[in-house]
């Protein structure tokens, strides 16, 4: 967007700016009229913001898988939604067994940890398998080829899990410790959401630390910059790629546990929408960029949660909440018009820029 005066401004540039400005006008106008109408109490807004952050936390953990793989292989792993689904859809059987034996509510912390471990392990295994079977043989093929196998792998996984666990859905039992809420001066904070937000922050920090400060993380970043040079420096590129998929898969499995704490129903098709949203969040924040994925996810979660009531209610649009996805994606367009490589920018090195 930073052009010198000598560069010509084309017609499509003007169109894009007009679209961007009209989105901005509608958003500002809608927000002002909603706030003036006073339809929603401060308590409602607080509730929506918290729910948005909790949703964003889940998106962030899924988005890590997209962003890490993109950073290394420059490809979008469209099977990642199924990697996300596989963990919680498998761990539900453990949760049900723990509930039946009564262990779940006697040792809630241990139970949640066990569920999380199972979920992360399953998602990690699936991610590694997908890499081994669907991507590695095509490492040197043209870029579009692994994209198609990714879609194929996605369908294959969906229907495999449908075959394994059935086409109906399974519900997670209620964990009694997490029921209820704390009240601070009129606003209510539900325990589940607090747990989700705090865990999401912690896990994102852990992932960031692994990528930035561990030896493997350093090797990952080296492979991301230049595969050949990294191989010449004695880095086993295949191993690093497997590690990347494993890390992304484990993050998705952990995200799955946070997801089921909020929406405790799982089925074979559950990965599709969150996967799509997380991918969007990764692009929004700047794909290939770890803090960007986190920021993008939080922004997307908030937009989805607060957006319909804040932007559209004041304009008198009926059933605004059904348009929440449309709002989220329009804001995505808006941001990408002004920052084409995402909020924090795609992490480009000299060789790729």
Candidate list 319, 350, 351, 353; residue touching another protein; CB under 8 A: 319
Candidate list 253, 275, 308, 314; residue touching another protein; CB under 8 A: 308
Q: Which is nearer to another protein, 19 or 178 (CB)?
A: 178
Part of the chain binding another protein (CB under 8 A), chosen from 42-50, 130-138, 242-250, 286-294: 42-50
Residues within window 325-344 making contact with another protein, judged by CB under 8 A: 325
Candidate list 188, 201, 238, 291; residue touching another protein; CB under 8 A: 188
Residue 102 Cβ vs another protein, minimum distance, rounded to whole Å: 15
Angle ∠(258,261,265) on CA atoms, nearest 5: 110
Strand partners, 189: 182
Residue 48 Cβ vs another protein, minimum distance, rounded to whole Å: 6
Assess contact for 309 and 34: CB atoms under 8 A.
Answer: yes
Q: Comparing C-alpha atoms, which of 288, 295, 299, 269 is closest to residue 346? A: 288
Residue 171 Cβ vs another protein, minimum distance, rounded to whole Å: 4
Q: Per CB under 8 A, does 163 bind another protein?
A: no
Candidate list 273, 315, 333, 348; residue touching another protein; CB under 8 A: 273
Residue 56 Cβ vs another protein, minimum distance, rounded to whole Å: 11
Interatomic CA distance for residues 177 and 106, integer angstroms: 9
Part of the chain binding another protein (CB under 8 A), chosen from 131-139, 212-220, 265-273, 290-298: 265-273
Candidate list 27, 31, 48, 261; residue touching another protein; CB under 8 A: 48
Q: Per CB under 8 A, does 43 bind another protein?
A: yes
Write out the two tokens for 322. Answer: 């059904």
Candidate list 306, 331, 335, 344; residue touching another protein; CB under 8 A: 306
x/- mask, another protein, residues 203-242, rule CB under 8 A, reads ----------------------------------------
* DSSP labels, 229-290: HHHHTT--HHHHHHHHHHHHHHHHHHHHHHHHHHS-EE-TTTTHHHHHHHHHHHHHH-TT-H
Q: Per CB under 8 A, does 86 bind another protein?
A: no
Q: Comparing C-alpha atoms, which of 123, 127, 289, 287 is closest to residue 211? A: 289
CA dihedral 127, 132, 134, 135 (to 10 degrees): 100
Candidate list 22, 167, 214, 349; residue touching another protein; CB under 8 A: 167
Q: Per CB under 8 A, does 245 bind another protein?
A: no
Assess contact for 245 and 131: CB atoms under 8 A.
Answer: yes
Burial 292-307 (b: 16+ CB within 10 A, else e): bbbbbbbbbbbbbbbb
Strands 187-190 vs 181-184: parallel, antiparallel or unpaired? antiparallel
Cβ within 8 Å of residue 301, ≥6 positions away = 52, 53, 54, 55, 56, 57, 58, 59, 281
Q: Per CB under 8 A, does 309 bind another protein?
A: yes
**Interface positions with another protein (CB under 8 A):** 39-41, 43-44, 47-48, 51-52, 55, 167-171, 173-174, 179, 181, 188, 190, 262-265, 267, 269-270, 273, 304-309, 313, 318-322, 324-325
């Amino acid at each position: 967007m930073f052009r010198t005066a000598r560069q010509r401004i084309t017609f499509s540039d003007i169109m894009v700016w007009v679209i961007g400005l009209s989105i901005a006008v509608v958003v500002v106008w809608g927000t002002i009229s909603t706030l003036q109408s006073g339809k929603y109490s401060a308590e409602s807004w607080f509730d929506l913001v918290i729910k948005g952050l909790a949703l964003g936390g889940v998106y962030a953990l899924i988005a890590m898988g997209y962003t890490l793989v993109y950073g290394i292989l420059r490809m979008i792993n469209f099977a990642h939604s199924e990697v996300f689904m596989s963990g919680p859809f498998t761990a539900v059987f453990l949760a049900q067994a723990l509930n039946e034996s009564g262990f779940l509510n006697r040792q809630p912390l241990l139970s949640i940890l066990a569920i999380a471990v199972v979920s992360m392990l399953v998602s990690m295994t699936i991610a590694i398998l997908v890499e081994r079977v669907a991507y590695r043989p095509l490492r040197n093929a043209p870029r579009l080829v692994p994209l198609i196998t990714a879609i194929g792998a996605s369908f294959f996984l969906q229907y495999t899990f449908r075959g394994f666990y059935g086409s109906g859905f399974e519900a997670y039992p209620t964990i009694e410790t997490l029921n209820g809420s704390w009240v601070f001066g009129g606003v209510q904070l539900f325990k589940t959401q607090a747990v989700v937000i705090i865990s999401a922050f912690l896990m994102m920090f852990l992932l960031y630390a692994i990528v930035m400060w561990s030896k493997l993380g350093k090797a990952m970043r080296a492979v991301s910059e230049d595969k050949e040079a990294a191989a010449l420096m004695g880095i086993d590129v295949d191993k690093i790629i497997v590690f990347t998929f494993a890390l992304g898969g484990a993050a998705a499995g952990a995200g799955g546990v946070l997801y089921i704490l909020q929406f405790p129903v799982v089925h074979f098709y559950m990965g599709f929408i969150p996967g799509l949203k997380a991918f969007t969040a990764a692009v929004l924040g700047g794909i290939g960029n770890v803090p960007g994925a986190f920021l993008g996810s939080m922004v997307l979660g908030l937009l989805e949660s607060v957006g319909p009531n804040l932007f559209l209610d004041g304009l008198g649009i009926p059933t605004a909440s059904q348009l929440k996805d449309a709002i989220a994606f329009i804001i995505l367009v808006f941001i990408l018009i002004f920052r084409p490589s995402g909020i924090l920018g795609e992490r480009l090195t000299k060789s790729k820029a």
